[in-house]
Amino acid sequence: MNSIRIMTVDDHEIMRGGIRFLLLAFDDLELVAEAHSGEEAIELCRTANPDVVLMDMKMTGIDGIGATRVIKESFPDIQILVLTSYYGADLVRRALDAGAIGYLLKDASKAHVAEAIRAAAAGKRTLSTEAALALVEKAEPSENAGRDLTDRERHILDLLAKGLSNAKIADSLDRSPFTVRHHVSQIMMKLGAANRAEAAAIAVRLGLVSSDEG
């Protein structure tokens, strides 16, 4: 099995060293680059070709959100997993809107970080409990939100809430990615959600899907 290629982005050398040490415990995770800024991360993506980037949020110059947006626009196949000390509904939402596939806090266990990296490489979202709760608490669905979802949309919403990307959902349902994107757009409109993560949070809050995954 090929190793998952990882790049870390953090302006603190001690943190980068800690992640470097953590990754040594897993044979399937390979550290291929370290960046101390968003600017350096963007440049290193061109040469290091990582599968997953562990991205800090608060950095001087281009911050984690800005770097995430540029990387996803330039290298859409690279997955961005936020690893930070900061969370809050607005910050989480902005990171996910920029293209991050997951959001973890730096106090996560090494096993949790490893599993989140593997999930990101497979195109599946991982949110820390704190980040997920922040989104759920921020979401304010209307009383009738979700009542007009079709059976197909409810099925897609369930897969979305479990962290599957549009491409994975399309494969699962044997539908085109374009069709799935249309359904996801309709779901977000009907739930009054700004993005996929908020749609999943609203769905959990309203009991439209199970909360045991994603």
Domains of the chain by start residue, with CATH:
4-128 (3.40.50.2300), 139-205 (1.10.10.10)
- Comparing 39 with 136, the larger pLDDT belongs to 39
- Comparing 189 with 15, the larger pLDDT belongs to 15
Q: What tens digit of pLDDT does each residue of 160-186 get?
A: 888 888 888 999 999 998 899 899 988
Total residues belonging to the chain: 214
Predicted confidence at residue 133, as pLDDT, reads 74
Summarize the confidence of residues 73-86 as an average pLDDT: 94
Burial (CB count within 10 angstroms: exposed 0-12, middle 13-18, buried 19+), residue 111: exposed
DSSP letter at 2?
P
* Band of pLDDT at residue 213, cut at 50, 70 and 90: very low
Predicted confidence at residue 113, as pLDDT, reads 94
- Find residue 104's DSSP bridge partners: 83
Full DSSP string of 59-99: -SSS-HHHHHHHHHHH-TTSEEEEEES---HHHHHHHHHHT
Tell me how far apart the alpha carbons of residues 112 and 130 are, in angstroms, rounded to a whole number. Answer: 14
The DSSP element (H or E) to which 133 belongs, if any, is: helix 129-138
Tell me how far apart the alpha carbons of residues 44 and 205 are, in angstroms, rounded to a whole number. Answer: 40
Q: Which of 104, 85, 7, 15 is nearest to 46 (CA)?
A: 7
Order of strands, edge to edge, in the sheet holding 4-9? 29-35, 4-9, 52-55, 79-84, 102-105, 126-127
* Band of pLDDT at residue 143, cut at 50, 70 and 90: low
Predicted confidence at residue 214, as pLDDT, reads 39
DSSP letter at 164?
B
Q: What tens digit of pLDDT does each residue of 17-75 get?
A: 999 999 999 999 999 999 999 999 999 999 999 999 999 999 988 999 999 999 999 99
Predicted confidence at residue 147, as pLDDT, reads 81
- Comparing 196 with 40, the larger pLDDT belongs to 40
Q: What is the mean pLDDT of the chain?
A: 88
Residue 212 confidence (pLDDT) above 60:
no
**What is the CA 49 to chain-centroid distance, rounded?**
19
Residue recorded with tokens 């919403």: 157
